[in-house]
Amino acid sequence: MADDEKQAPPHDSDASEPLGPMTPDEETPLGDTPEAHDEISPHDLPPDHPGRDEAERLAGGDEGTTEGEA
């Protein structure tokens, strides 16, 4: 191996800290992340956004939040 070749540091198999964004998770589908939330508030979208009306409908009004649609 060349001196300038980079390698990740070794990880102790007993360590409890996450490995980063690619940490395996048995509960989360591939491509999703446990750090992301699945719901939105209509206020997450500007009033003129094409999805704002649908977000308000799914949230049950202007003050609610949608549920994730997985």
Are 34 and 28 spatial neighbours (Cβ–Cβ below 8 Å)?
A: yes
Domain-wise residue ranges, the chain:
37-63
- The structure's pTM equals 0.47
Separation between Cα atoms, residue 24 and residue 62, nearest integer Å: 36
Average pLDDT for 2-6: 66
Tens digits of residue pLDDT in 57-66 = 988 887 787 8
Tens digits of residue pLDDT in 16-47 = 666 665 666 677 677 676 666 678 889 889 99
